[in-house]
């Protein structure tokens, strides 16, 4: 009996415990914030070499200018590991300044009953984030950027350090020139261009289906210009209120256009290709185009320094004027912890960071579009290929969309999941997928 | 005869055992019990927020809400994973162990090679197979092309999960093999000799001598692979990240805990649910196995 019991105990001990150890972990109090007579500022960030390097450099300059401070720059692995580390440290008061992956988003509205409150908002509501309203350095940034990505309940809590664009398509200028092709400005021109490439034996598009999320990037462009007749916020509010549906012609059109891109023009087997290898297909001319975010420009250039490439917004509709606005999001955003041991130091650092020449060093290395006016990035790619399309810049669907809690997997993570379309997925037509999405949306409705 | 002396000194070993026991209680039993308690609350990972007892709400939201069909699908997939992995992994491991037990030339090298994937670890193994299963230039696709077959491997809704099962078995087969091998080597040779004199065939010898005598290894292997299979989320995380119909209960626990919201009740409830499912199978398996163990 004892033998059996111990086998059971062994078994059970192996199973339970994952959650408990994950959630309630508290990091030890590090005691004093003094180090050799200097006041320590604890800065938390994820590992991303270009940004880490420039921040270390900026930190050094800061320490030279303000010798009374010492910065402890802590980096963790990205994504889940960072999320866990930041949650733990913020709740334990063991950090003074930290970065978040994007600007404020997903905050519930009065028309979104039952929507989940995002982490950053819970932190602010619990008094864990410092109020930056009225700090002088905020004036250095574009007011609308601070308003859209760093303001909550009329108070400034976050500093968005830059924007990225996501709805563009990288194209190989040499291949385009070879076949006499021009940058398409309408959907039908885009289709014609793809057909010409195919006829000449060139694979038009390279895209990574295995990671699933890269398929969202061109979809963002389609969604921004097609949903709600070009007003995706209207569409989003409509699906909550029941005045628009995922089966509406505009929503189905987005799925259909994605299906066309995926089935007709994207390389064979793209559903098994992972994101990291796609730039090499593009850089070596194996595909003529690559829908991707502006952040991949350095990777492409590094993969083939001689490559002559450009960038254009995916032409979602037949209206060239509408099509030319790029879609994107705010990237890394700074928050100061209210309960940290050195809030003053953190704000001092942010002030230093926000000096235009320091900020310029950062934004150049990070590869973001600046959120500070008149800051030059010295990037030919940005100046020639991206800036012409920045008028009417729109936030991406995944930033604006607020999901219902427990919504099904065909709508999860603020996406429309075109990977479920045939031939990779089970849905033969866009309409079928749209119907499942609407059904999942309805069944996730909060119970009265 | 009395290494710890007599009288009150006999208590010393128990006192010494108390130290690790205390560590287990504080760092294992405690959190485990807390997980069960959390699962009935709306606790959040934000200090200062109040914690309410919400009864079975978390369980209801897991099993009977908008996306519960996915949860049931995860449970189904976990069970499928467990059965296929347990049967194939142990079947193959036993076969390999019996063959290696023949004292072949270089058996030690074979043993080391088959055990190697366990040493490599999940990250390396997943990377190896992601490269092997590259749909454009991977060697497996090139092999498939000979037969005119195309696949997107870890990006395929229909096949990705089976490829993950394959990787799991490939990785842990050596582990089960080693346990079987240890069991096989403890079977006394004279039993075979006696059997040989009585004119047993090789199959009879295996069925009546080997198999009953390695029953303890069998029990251990079954338990380890059942628990291991039900717990696997790392290979899934590293290969498909739960996309393409590859989510299991264990993956969902990881995802809800580390990637979900700040809620702690829901992931706790999911852990408890997973524990209960594993418990049922482990109890049944232990019962069955123990009956078969014999001593000659």
Does A153 lie in the same domain as A172?
Answer: no
Contact present, A17 and B30 (Cβ < 8 Å): no
A153 domain residue, yes or no:
yes
pLDDT tens by residue, A336-369: 999 999 999 999 999 999 999 999 999 999 989 9
- Indicate which CATH number applies to the domain containing A172: 3.40.190.10
Contact present, A250 and A434 (Cβ < 8 Å): no
Contact present, B104 and B213 (Cβ < 8 Å): no
By DSSP bridging, strand A97-100 and strand A333-336 are: antiparallel
pLDDT tens by residue, A265-274: 999 999 999 8
Determine, for residues A20 and B38 on separate chains, whether the beta-carbon distance falls below 8 Å. yes
B6 domain residue, yes or no:
no
Query: Between B68-100 and B215-231, two packed helices, what is the crossing angle to 10 degrees?
Result: 150
pLDDT at A447 over 90: no
Residue of A nearest to B73 (CA): A409
**Can the peptide bond before residue A423 be classed as cis, meaning omega within 30 degrees of 0?**
yes
pLDDT tens by residue, B141-154: 999 999 999 899 99
Question: In sequence order, what are the beta bridge partners of A46?
Answer: A76
CA–CA min distance B26, chain A (Å): 11
Determine, for residues A11 and B151 on separate chains, whether the beta-carbon distance falls below 8 Å. no
Determine, for residues B230 and A15 on separate chains, whether the beta-carbon distance falls below 8 Å. yes
pLDDT tens by residue, A115-127: 888 989 999 999 9
pLDDT at A14 over 80: no
CA–CA min distance B258, chain A (Å): 6
| Residue to substitute from B136, B224, B259, interface A, most A β-carbons within 10 A | B136
Contacts with B38 from chain A: Cβ below 8 Å: 19-20, 23
Reported as a pLDDT band with limits 50, 70 and 90, residue B48 is confident
A266 domain residue, yes or no:
yes
CA–CA min distance B236, chain A (Å): 13
Determine, for residues A15 and B275 on separate chains, whether the beta-carbon distance falls below 8 Å. yes
Residue of A nearest to B273 (CA): A16
CA–CA min distance A189, chain B (Å): 29
In whole angstroms, give the CA distance from residue B32 to residue A152: 38
Side-chain-side CA neighbours of residue A5 (13 Å): 2
Reported as a pLDDT band with limits 50, 70 and 90, residue B1 is low
User: Average pLDDT in the B157-181 region?
Assistant: 95
**How much of chain A exceeds pLDDT 70, in percent?**
92
| Higher per-residue confidence, A377 vs A222 | A222
Determine, for residues B257 and A272 on separate chains, whether the beta-carbon distance falls below 8 Å. no
Selecting from B28, B136, B241 the residue whose C-beta is nearest the C-beta of A17 gives: B28
On whether any CB of chain B is under 8 Å from the CB of A419, the answer is yes
Q: What is the dihedral of CA B168, B171, B175, B178, to 10 degrees?
A: 130
| Residue to substitute from B20, B26, B32, interface A, most A β-carbons within 10 A | B32
Alpha helices (H) in A325-415, listed in sequence order: 343-353, 356-366, 380, 397-400
In whole angstroms, give the CA distance from residue B253 to residue B274: 8
Determine, for residues B227 and A425 on separate chains, whether the beta-carbon distance falls below 8 Å. no
pLDDT of residue A19: 41
Contact present, A334 and A146 (Cβ < 8 Å): no
Reported as a pLDDT band with limits 50, 70 and 90, residue A448 is low
Does A184 lie in the same domain as A316?
Answer: yes
CA–CA min distance A4, chain B (Å): 7
Does A416 lie in the same domain as A321?
Answer: yes
Does A345 lie in the same domain as A303?
Answer: no
pLDDT at B292 over 70: yes
pLDDT at B99 over 60: yes
Question: Which of A223, A420, A404 is CA-nearest to residue A329?
Answer: A223
Question: In sequence order, what are the beta bridge partners of A197?
Answer: none
Residue listed under structure tokens 């087969």? B173
Question: Which of B36, B34, B20, B114 is CA-nearest to residue B274?
Answer: B36
Determine, for residues B31 and A445 on separate chains, whether the beta-carbon distance falls below 8 Å. no
Does A135 lie in the same domain as A206?
Answer: no
Reported as a pLDDT band with limits 50, 70 and 90, residue A21 is very low
Selecting from A272, A420, A440 the residue whose C-beta is nearest the C-beta of B66 gives: A440
Contacts with B276 from chain A: Cβ below 8 Å: none
Report the b/e string of A250-262 with b at 16+ CB within 10 A. Answer: bbbbbbbbbbbbb
Selecting from B35, B155, B272 the residue whose C-beta is nearest the C-beta of A210 gives: B155
pLDDT tens by residue, A326-335: 999 999 999 9
Q: Is the dihedral of CA A62, A65, A66, A67 positive or negative?
A: positive
Q: CB-based burial of residue A241 (10 Å sphere; 0-12 exposed, 13-18 middle, 19+ buried)? A: exposed
Alpha helices (H) in A138-286, listed in sequence order: 143-150, 173-178, 187-199, 216-226, 232-241, 249-260, 278-283
CA–CA min distance A415, chain B (Å): 13
pLDDT at A30 over 50: no
Q: Residue B193 sits in which domain range?
A: 57-292
Does A202 lie in the same domain as A144?
Answer: no
On whether any CB of chain B is under 8 Å from the CB of A443, the answer is yes
Report how many domains make up chain B: 1
pLDDT tens by residue, A234-288: 999 999 999 999 999 999 999 999 999 999 999 999 999 989 999 999 999 999 9
In total, chain A counts a number of residues equal to 448
User: Average pLDDT in the B17-44 region?
Assistant: 92
Least confident segment among A94-103, A213-222, A373-382: A373-382
Reported as a pLDDT band with limits 50, 70 and 90, residue A428 is very high
B1 domain residue, yes or no:
no
Tell me the residue ranges of DSSP E strands in A325-423.
327-330, 333-336, 394-395
pLDDT of residue B258: 83
In whole angstroms, give the CA distance from residue A279 to residue A170: 10
- Indicate which CATH number applies to the domain containing B220: 1.10.3720.10
Residue of A nearest to B238 (CA): A211
Contact present, B216 and B185 (Cβ < 8 Å): no
Contacts with A87 from chain B: Cβ below 8 Å: 45, 262
CA–CA min distance B83, chain A (Å): 17
pLDDT of residue B291: 80
Contacts with B130 from chain A: Cβ below 8 Å: 274
Does A286 lie in the same domain as A138?
Answer: no
Tell me the three state secondary structure of residue B137: coil
pLDDT of residue A25: 33
Selecting from B47, B134, B155 the residue whose C-beta is nearest the C-beta of A91 gives: B47
In total, chain B counts a number of residues equal to 296
Determine, for residues A128 and B46 on separate chains, whether the beta-carbon distance falls below 8 Å. yes
Report how many domains make up chain A: 2
Provide, for chain B, the percentages of residues in helix, strand and coil under a 3-state DSSP scheme, each rounded to the nearest 5: 75, 0, 25
Q: CB-based burial of residue B196 (10 Å sphere; 0-12 exposed, 13-18 middle, 19+ buried)? A: exposed
CA–CA min distance B150, chain A (Å): 8
Query: Between A249-260 and A430-443, two packed helices, what is the crossing angle to 10 degrees?
Result: 130
Does A384 lie in the same domain as A334?
Answer: yes
On whether any CB of chain B is under 8 Å from the CB of A29, the answer is no
In whole angstroms, give the CA distance from residue A75 to residue B91: 45
Selecting from A127, A270, A408 the residue whose C-beta is nearest the C-beta of B66 gives: A408
pLDDT of residue B66: 79
Which backbone phi and psi does A71 adopt, to 5 degrees?
-100, 130
In whole angstroms, give the CA distance from residue B55 to residue B52: 9
User: B280-285: long-range contacts (C-beta < 8 A, 24 or more apart)?
Assistant: B281/B82, B281/B226, B281/B230, B282/A7, B282/A8, B282/A11, B282/B223, B282/B226, B282/B227, B283/A8, B285/B219, B285/B222, B285/B223, B285/B226
On whether any CB of chain B is under 8 Å from the CB of A21, the answer is yes
Contact present, A163 and A330 (Cβ < 8 Å): yes
Tell me the three state secondary structure of residue A287: strand
pLDDT of residue B2: 65
Does A272 lie in the same domain as A194?
Answer: yes
pLDDT of residue B81: 97
Does A285 lie in the same domain as A229?
Answer: yes
Tell me the three state secondary structure of residue A265: helix
In whole angstroms, give the CA distance from residue B81 to residue B38: 28
Question: Which of B214, B104, B122, B206 is CA-nearest to residue B168?
Answer: B122
Determine, for residues A23 and B38 on separate chains, whether the beta-carbon distance falls below 8 Å. yes
List CB contacts of B212: < 8 A, sequence separation 6 or more. Answer: B292, B293, B294, B296
User: Average pLDDT in the B12-41 region?
Assistant: 92
Give, in order, the Cα–Cα distances in Å from A316 to each of A249, A312, A375, A421, A430. Answer: 14, 12, 30, 19, 16
pLDDT tens by residue, B193-221: 898 898 888 888 888 888 889 998 999 99
Selecting from A13, A122, A274 the residue whose C-beta is nearest the C-beta of B46 gives: A122
Question: Which of A376, A445, A365 is CA-nearest to residue A405?
Answer: A445
State the average pLDDT for chain A. Answer: 90
| Residue to substitute from A89, A272, A440, A446, interface B, most B β-carbons within 10 A | A272
Q: Residue A87 sits in which domain range?
A: 34-164+330-388
Does A413 lie in the same domain as A370?
Answer: no
Contacts with A271 from chain B: Cβ below 8 Å: 135, 152, 155-156
Determine, for residues B67 and A440 on separate chains, whether the beta-carbon distance falls below 8 Å. yes
pLDDT of residue A60: 96
Vertex B261 angle, CA B257 and B262, to 5°: 80
Residue of A nearest to B149 (CA): A269
On whether any CB of chain B is under 8 Å from the CB of A174, the answer is no
Tokens representing A26 are 């508290």
Question: Which of A304, A266, A303, A269 is CA-nearest to residue A288?
Answer: A266
Selecting from B34, B70, B150 the residue whose C-beta is nearest the C-beta of A408 gives: B70
In whole angstroms, give the CA distance from residue A331 to residue B145: 42
A20 domain residue, yes or no:
no
Give, in order, the Cα–Cα distances in Å from A212 to each of A136, A217, B157, B241, B252. Answer: 42, 10, 12, 10, 18
pLDDT of residue A75: 94
Tell me the three state secondary structure of residue B277: helix
In whole angstroms, give the CA distance from residue A430 to residue A124: 40
User: Average pLDDT in the A52-57 region?
Assistant: 95
CA–CA min distance B190, chain A (Å): 29
Contact present, A412 and B252 (Cβ < 8 Å): no
Selecting from B34, B151, B223 the residue whose C-beta is nearest the C-beta of A11 gives: B223
User: Average pLDDT in the A209-231 region?
Assistant: 95
User: Average pLDDT in the B114-135 region?
Assistant: 93
CA–CA min distance A141, chain B (Å): 30
Side-chain-side CA neighbours of residue B50 (13 Å): 3
Selecting from A22, A269, A270 the residue whose C-beta is nearest the C-beta of B257 gives: A22
Tokens representing A443 are 């069944």
On whether any CB of chain B is under 8 Å from the CB of A1, the answer is no
In whole angstroms, give the CA distance from residue A248 to residue B129: 42
pLDDT of residue A142: 94
Does A257 lie in the same domain as A155?
Answer: no
Contact present, B225 and B86 (Cβ < 8 Å): yes
User: Average pLDDT in the A9-17 region?
Assistant: 47
In whole angstroms, give the CA distance from residue B186 to residue B214: 8
B31 domain residue, yes or no:
no
By DSSP bridging, strand A203-205 and strand A287-291 are: parallel
Determine, for residues B243 and A19 on separate chains, whether the beta-carbon distance falls below 8 Å. no
pLDDT at A20 over 60: no
In whole angstroms, give the CA distance from residue B28 to residue B30: 5
pLDDT at A202 over 70: yes
């Amino acid at each position: 009996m004892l033998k059996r019991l111990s086998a059971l105990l062994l078994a059970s001990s192996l199973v339970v415990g994952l959650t408990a150890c994950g959630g309630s972990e508290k990091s030890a109090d590090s005691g004093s914030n003094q180090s050799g007579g200097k006041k320590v500022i604890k800065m938390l960030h994820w590992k991303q070499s270009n940004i880490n390097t420039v921040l270390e450099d900026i930190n050094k300059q800061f320490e030279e200018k303000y010798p009374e401070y010492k910065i402890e720059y802590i980096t963790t692995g990205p994504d889940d590991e960072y999320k866990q580390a930041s949650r733990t440290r913020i709740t334990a008061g063991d950090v003074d300044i930290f970065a978040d992956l994007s600007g404020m988003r997903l905050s519930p509205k009065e028309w979104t009953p039952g929507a989940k409150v995002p982490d950053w908002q819970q932190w602010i509501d619990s008094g864990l984030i410092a109020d930056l309203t009225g700090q002088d350095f905020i004036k250095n940034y574009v007011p609308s950027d601070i308003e859209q990505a760093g303001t909550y309940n009329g108070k400034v809590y976050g500093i968005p350090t830059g924007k990225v664009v996501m709805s563009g398509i990288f194209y190989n200028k040499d291949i385009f020139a070879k076949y006499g092709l021009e940058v398409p400005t309408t959907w039908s021109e885009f289709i014609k261009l793809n057909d010409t490439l195919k006829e000449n034996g060139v694979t038009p598009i390279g895209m990574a289906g295995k990671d699933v999320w890269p398929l969202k990037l061109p979809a963002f462009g389609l969604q921004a210009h097609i949903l709600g007749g070009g007003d995706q916020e209207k569409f989003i509010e409509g699906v909550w209120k029941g005045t628009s549906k995922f089966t509406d012609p505009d929503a189905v059109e987005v799925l259909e256009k994605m299906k066309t891109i995926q089935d007709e023009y994207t390389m064979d087997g793209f559903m098994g290709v992972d994101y990291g290898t796609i730039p090499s297909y593009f850089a070596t001319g194996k595909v003529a185009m690559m829908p991707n975010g502006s952040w991949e420009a350095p990777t492409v250039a590094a993969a083939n320094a001689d490559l002559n490439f450009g960038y254009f917004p995916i032409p979602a509709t037949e209206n060239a004027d509408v099509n030319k606005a790029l879609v994107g999001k705010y990237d890394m955003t700074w928050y100061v912890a209210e309960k940290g041991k050195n809030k003053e130091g953190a704000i001092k650092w942010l002030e230093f960071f926000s000096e235009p020449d320091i900020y310029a060093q950062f934004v150049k290395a990070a590869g973001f579009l600046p959120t500070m006016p008149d800051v030059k990035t010295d990037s030919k790619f940005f100046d020639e290929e991206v800036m012409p399309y920045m008028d009417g810049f729109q936030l991406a669907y995944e930033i604006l969309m607020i999901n219902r809690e427990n919504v099904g997997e065909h709508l999860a993570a603020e996406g429309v999941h075109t990977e479920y379309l045939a031939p990779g997925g089970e849905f033969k037509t866009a309409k079928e997928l749209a119907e499942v999405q609407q059904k999942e949306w309805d069944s996730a409705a909060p119970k009265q | 005869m009395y290494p710890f002396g007599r009288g009150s000194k006999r208590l010393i070993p128990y006192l010494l055992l108390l130290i690790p026991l205390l560590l287990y209680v504080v760092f294992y039993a405690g959190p485990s019990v807390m997980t069960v308690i959390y699962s009935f609350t709306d606790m959040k990972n934000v200090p200062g927020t109040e914690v309410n007892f919400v009864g079975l709400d978390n369980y209801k939201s897991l099993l009977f809400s908008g996306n519960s069909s996915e949860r049931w699908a995860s449970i189904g997939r976990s069970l499928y994973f467990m059965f296929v992995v347990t049967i194939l992994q142990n079947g193959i491991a036993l076969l390999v162990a019996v063959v290696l037990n023949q004292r072949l030339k270089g058996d030690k090298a074979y043993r080391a090679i088959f055990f190697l994937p366990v040493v490599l670890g999940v990250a390396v193994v997943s990377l190896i197979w992601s490269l092997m299963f590259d749909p454009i230039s991977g060697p497996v696709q090139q092999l498939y092309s000979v037969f005119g077959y195309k696949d997107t491997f870890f990006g395929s809704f229909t096949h990705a999960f089976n490829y993950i099962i394959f990787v799991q078995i490939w990785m842990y087969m050596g582990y089960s093999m080693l346990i079987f091998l240890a069991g096989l080597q403890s079977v006394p040779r004279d039993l075979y000799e006696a059997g040989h004199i009585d004119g047993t065939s090789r199959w009879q010898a295996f069925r009546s001598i080997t198999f009953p005598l390695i029953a303890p290894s069998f029990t251990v292997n079954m338990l380890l692979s059942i628990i291991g299979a039900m717990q696997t989320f790392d290979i899934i995380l590293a290969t498909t990240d739960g996309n393409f119909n590859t989510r299991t209960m264990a993956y969902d626990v990881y995802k809800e805990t580390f990637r979900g919201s700040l809620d702690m009740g829901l992931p706790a409830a999911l852990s408890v649910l997973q524990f209960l499912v594993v418990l049922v199978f482990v109890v049944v398996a232990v019962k069955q196995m123990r009956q078969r163990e014999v001593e000659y």
